[in-house]
Each structure stands twice: as C-alpha cells, then as structure tokens.
Amino acid sequence: MPKIEKPDCINKNCWLAKTLNHSPYSRCQYCELKFQQCLFLHYQIISLILITFFLALFFVVEGKISELVIICIFTLVIVYGYFLNKSTDKIIKANFAQREAKLALEKLTEKLEERVDEQTKDIGEKNKYLQELLNMKTDFLRVVNHQLNTPLAVMKGYFSMMEEGSYPPDKARPAIKGGLERISSTVSDFWDAYELEGERMKMEPKKTDIAEIVNALIAEKQNLQLARERKLKIEVQKPEFEIPLAWCDCKKTAHVISNLLDNAVYYTRQGSVTVFYELIGKNYLKVNIKDTGSGVSDQDKKKLFQKFSRGKNATDLRPDGSGLGLFIAKKIIEGNGGEMVCVSAGANKGSTFSFTLPIYKNQKSTSEGEKPATREEKIVIFGKPSRQK
Amino acid sequence: MQQCQIHDDSLKFSRAAYGILVLIAVLIHNQWLVLAASLLMAFGIFSLKLNIPYQFHALVIKKFQKEKLAPIQKESAELNFVSGMTAGLLLVGFLLIYFGKFVDFAWIYILIVDLLIFLACFVGFCVATLMYVFFKKIFKI
Amino acid sequence: MKSKKGRILLVEDESQLVDIYHDFLEMNGYDFLSTNNIQEALQLTEFEQPDLVLLDIIIPKPENTIAEQGWEYLAAVKKNSQTKDIPIVVFTNLETHRDRVKSEKMGAAAYIFKRDCTPREVMETIAEIIKKDRERKKK
C-alpha cells in the first residue's frame, strides 16, 4: 500500500469533523463519508444503547447490577471496539488509497489524451498539407493537359492537312511553329510558377525605360485580332511629370506588362484599356492599367494572385487561361522590390491593375562579374565572360 | 477555536493511567483514591501542560521510543472539557459515597465512568467528546 | 578517316533525337558516334577520342529506371587521364540554375538546354568549342 500523505483537510461531509474543526480520529482525515454513514458512529450508538439496555435488563431482572456484569460488558465493548477501530482504520485508508489511485489514473489518462491530441494534430496538419498537394497536383494535371493538348491538336491538324496536300506548307509551317512556341512557353511558365513557390525569382535589375516598353507593347496589343474586333481603345495617358527610369529586370518586367495588357484586352468586351502613371513618394513609380471590362468580384479578388486561380466567369472570355499569369507577374514585381494590387468596383465594373517599381537612382547591379547562368539562357559556355543566346 | 498539537499515544497513556487508578479505587472501595484521581484530572481543565501523566509520557518515555509518531491536532477546548467532565463525574461519585447516599449505586456509577475512560483510551470512543460537540452545537446555534 | 571538322560523340537515349543530330551533323561534315549506354560511352570516349562529347544527363539504367547517370559519366571521364581533356557539353532538358552550376563545377565545357535549341544553334556552339579547344591544345 502506498504511503499516504497526511492531508490537512477536514472531511467536509462529516458533521462531527466540521463542528470540531479537526478530525476526531486519525482515520477521519482519509474519510469522505457523511457522519450518518460513519461506521464508528454506528458502533458508538449501538454500543451505548446495548450497554444501557443490558444494564437496565439486569437491574430489572436481578434487582441489582453486579460489578462483574458491568466489567464483563464493558470489556466486551472495549475489546470489540478496539478491533473495530483498527479495521475501520484500514478500510478507510484503503478507500483513500483507491481514490488516490483513481485520481492518478485520471490524470494520466488526461495527459495521454493531450499527448495523443498533440501527435494527431501533427498528423492532421500533415494530412491537410498532403491534401493541398494532392489538389495542386490535380489542378496542375488538369491545366497542363489542357494547355498542352490544345496547341498539339492545332499542330496535328495543320500538319495532317499539310501531309494530305490539302493545305499549303507555307501557311502550315508558321502555324505549327506557333504551336511549338506555345507549348514551349507553357512549359516554361509552369516551371516558373513552381520555382517561384515561396522564393523570389532571381532578378537582374538594370536601368529600364518603362515608358518605352509600354509604348512598344501597346502598339503590339493594338494589333491583336481581339482588340481590333472589339474596337478597343488601347492608349497611354501621358502624365504631367517626366516618367523616370526604373530599376528592374527589363525582360521580366516587360513580361509582366505584356501579361497585364493581355488580360485587359481579353477581359474587356468593349471600351478602352488605359495605361497611366503615378509617382509614389520619391522612390517608386506606379504603373496602372485600367480597363472597362468584366472587373473582379470580391470573391475572386481573394484568390486573384494565387496559382491556377481563375475568376468565376473567366473561361467565357479567355478559355485558354492557365491561371498562372497573375501569380507569376506578382512574384516578378515583388522580386523587383515592388508591389502589385488590383482595384475593382466589382463584377462588370472594370478594374485597374497596378504595380510599383523602384526608380532608378544610380543603383549598382549586384550581379556584375557573376557568371550569367540564369534560367533564361539556353546555351552557356563556361569559363568565359557573358555569352548569351 | 484554539488548536494544539498533541501526541495521541501520550493521551492514551494518560487516560489509561487515570483508568487504572480509578479501577483500583473501585476494586478496593477506596473513595479517597477516587477523589485523588478527580483532582488530578481537574488540573487538565486549565491546560494540557498540567496533565501530569500526559506530560510524563510525552517528555520522559517518548525519549526512549525509537519511532517518533506525528502529533495530531485537537482542539484544546475539547480536551479541557473532557478532563473537566470526567473530573466532575468522579467528584459526584465521591460526594455520594462521602455523604453516604446511594453508596452501592455510586460505586457502580464510578465503575461505569472508569470503564468509559478505558473505552476512550483503547477504542478512541470518548463520550465526553460527543457531549462537548453536542453542547457546542446547541450553544452555537 | 577522321573528319577535319571533328568527331562528335552523342550520349543520348532518345533515339529520334539521335537520328536528327546524326543526319544534321553528318550533313555538315562531322563524324558522328552515338550510344545510349554509359559503359559503352566511357569506352568509346577512351578509344575513339572524340573532339567533343554531347552528354545527356537523364539516361535510364538498363532496368529502365530513371537515373541521372550523365553525372557519373562526367565524373569518370574527368578522372581518367586519357579522357580528361576532351570537352564535354552537357546537353539536357534539366533547366535549374543548380544543374548549370553543377555542370560547370564538374568540368563541363558548356551547357545546352535541349528543348529550346535548334540543331543549327547546337552545331555552332560545337564548332566554337572545338575551335577554342584546338587553339588551346596548340599552345
């Protein structure tokens, strides 16, 4: 039996202990019974009653009480009481030990439950993560399938017609080449998107004339078939200030602007696409591309820049979208030290996509002297200064 | 209520001592011994320190004990009451004998009181304590 | 008779690609050897002493499991004193920066990203490397 610590508490259930304000008997400290249930009390009462009864009986029957009788009765009561005392002591201590054990067991169970919860939380989180990965994979496969199969189908079509002889090879060739380029760029995009996961893409910033890029791209987009069909007005709003040079990766930023302009054209059924500039403080140039198109609902805004997310009705206007364009664009802008936002009054109320870029203030490129081995280059000859193709 | 720490075994010893004293008195029908016991107990009304057998056991005999038992808490008022009650009962018995009234009954009565002392000693069943609790309840309420 | 322009060894498992380069390079006056087996490649490199090796990295093992055996080949060639001076061009579809750096560290002469290059571009690179290599060997 474990050693029982002497508790300082008084049995709150027992009337006797409460009144006396201490435990009348040593075992009372371990007892939790009510006074009415107290074994000892029962003994005491019964004993007193019996003693009184027998003495009275003797007195009535014999006419007197012999001392011997008294001594006998009391001896019996005392001896009996002594052993009762000892055994009730043992019983109560045993009960107490049992209660302690139960408490300890409960505590242990609680602790174990906590531990299990902790572990399963870990598993639960991993599960969630795996589920997300699974979803990503499904998205990925679905979109890849679509994005790759479409140009393949086109190419196959032209090629077979060319084979049959029913389509002139001169016309088929550029179409097939276009398909090849499209598949190439899709695969690049996916690579970009996954490489950018959680990291900033490596930028090669240099002095860039944004205005020039924008003007060139606008001219290009004005020639898009879709823009001409819809008679969209694509133009630049010249600001009052002189547009400063930016410090950013030229090629990638151009990619971003092109992407945003494409989006604007695709998602605007009629009206205009306007590019205008703002200066943010002394250090940042903000480029805004405003359209009068289908806008972005509040629901879509939350997932706008996530991978593979497409607006609810996006497929109506651009069935081939991969859902990666804005994700990549945002990562590129952030990699250049800027921010990208979208402001829209709601569905069908147009939208303005803007991004900021740091202004060129004689920053020095940190990658001078490094061997150029970025993803962009398809051929790199080692052991000599920059050789790009 | 004022609490104090007492040694349970010393208390038992003191009760046994009183019990034996009174038993001898009854067996030899000596009322003076009864008076002596009563007076001895009466000291205990005022403080446990005046309870001679108790102190004897606590200070002297305890030194020879190998295991030290932990003291128990008890209310000092309870002990005082118990001493007083017992002393009083014995005194009544003595007076009955002294004045020659109900002598036989008186001896039986003293015997019963004595056996109650033994009961309290060996079994821990103290009628006086119960009476004390009873009175406490009545007067508190 | 060894071609004047050079002898090229292509280590590649994709047979259609081998055919394209076989035709193109032979048409342009190069000697062309090819294999899809690493062991054979090592032997050919040592005995034939090509002027340049185009090395694919992802070459499956004989049991058809995917493996990047190209790196092992590159390491072995650079260790062998008989073959360490032959320029090796990593010719692969792996496109991470890490892979480029690894090729350079292991002693490759150049890195060509297969998917985006036309045979002509590859040939021009080969020509340049062989020219530089020959100039270096003369010194």
Residues of B with CB below 8 A from A19's CB?
Answer: 133, 136-137
CA distance B77 to chain A (A): 10
Arithmetic mean of pLDDT, C44-57: 91
At residue C124 the predicted structure's pLDDT band, cuts being 50, 70 and 90, is: very high
At residue A315 the predicted structure's pLDDT band, cuts being 50, 70 and 90, is: low
CA distance B42 to chain A (A): 22
Closest Cβ opposite residue C113 in set A371, A378, A381:
A378
- Rounded Cα distance between B105 and B113, Å, is 12
Instruction: Give the SS3 label for residue A72.
Output: helix
Q: Give the pLDDT confidence of A49-58 residue by residue, as tens digits.
A: 888 888 888 8
Q: Are A380 and C96 in contact (CB under 8 A)?
A: no
**Are C and B neighbours with ≥3 CB pairs closer than 8 A?**
no
Residues of A with CB below 8 A from C122's CB?
Answer: 379
User: Domain A205-358 - what CATH class?
Assistant: alpha beta
pLDDT at position A76, please?
A: 86
**How far apart, in Å, are the Cα atoms of A39 and each of A20, A46, A84, A96, C59?**
18, 11, 9, 15, 89
Arithmetic mean of pLDDT, C92-102: 83
pLDDT at position A9, please?
A: 60
Arithmetic mean of pLDDT, A196-206: 65
Q: Give the pLDDT confidence of B1-57 residue by residue, as tens digits.
A: 577 777 778 888 888 888 898 888 888 888 888 888 888 888 878 877 777 777 877
Least confident span in A10-19, A129-138, A355-364: A10-19
Residues of A with CB below 8 A from C111's CB?
Answer: 373, 379-380, 382
Q: What is the mean pLDDT of chain C?
A: 88
Q: What is the mean pLDDT of chain A?
A: 80
Closest C-alpha to A374, from C68, B100, B122, C113: C113
Closest Cβ opposite residue B133 in set A20, A47, A78:
A20
CA distance B73 to chain A (A): 7
Least confident span in A7-21, C7-21, C109-123: A7-21
pLDDT at position C7, please?
A: 92
CA distance A70 to chain B (A): 7
- Rounded Cα distance between A87 and A89, Å, is 5
CB distance from A48 to chain B under 8 Å? Answer: yes
Residues of A with CB below 8 A from C110's CB?
Answer: 379-382
CB distance from C104 to chain A under 8 Å? Answer: yes
Q: Give the pLDDT confidence of A32-76 residue by residue, as tens digits.
A: 777 677 777 778 788 888 888 888 888 888 877 777 888 888 888
pLDDT at position A20, please?
A: 67
Least confident span in A159-173, A210-224, B123-137: B123-137
Q: What percent of chain A has pLDDT over 70?
A: 83
Residues of A with CB below 8 A from B8's CB?
Answer: 26
Say what the ipTM of the complex is: 0.76
Residues of A with CB below 8 A from B109's CB?
Answer: none
Q: Searching chain C, which residue's CA lies closest to the CA of residue A370?
A: C101
CB distance from A48 to chain C under 8 Å? Answer: no
Q: Are A186 and A322 in contact (CB under 8 A)?
A: yes
Q: C54 phi and psi, to 5 degrees?
A: -95, 120
Query: Could you tell me the residue ranges of all domains in chain A?
Result: 15-121, 205-358
Closest C-alpha to C32, from C50, C15, C46: C50
Most confident of A31-40, A357-366, C7-16: C7-16
Q: Give the pLDDT confidence of A273-304 residue by residue, as tens digits.
A: 999 999 988 889 999 999 998 888 888 888 88
**Which residues neighbour C89 within 8 Å (Cβ) at sequence distance 6 or greater?**
C52, C53, C54, C55, C108, C109, C110, C111, C112, C125, C126, C129
Tokens standing for residue A299: 């629901």
CA distance A261 to chain C (A): 26
pLDDT at position C1, please?
A: 55
Phi/psi-derived region of residue A181, left when phi > 0, alpha when psi is between -120 and 50, beta in every other case: alpha
pLDDT at position A2, please?
A: 36
Kindly determine whether residue A84 and residue B130, on different chains, have CB atoms separated by under 8 Å.
no
Kindly determine whether residue B74 and residue A22, on different chains, have CB atoms separated by under 8 Å.
yes
CA distance A374 to chain C (A): 6
pTM of the model: 0.43
Kindly determine whether residue C116 and residue A184, on different chains, have CB atoms separated by under 8 Å.
yes
Q: Searching chain A, which residue's CA lies closest to the CA of residue C98?
A: A373
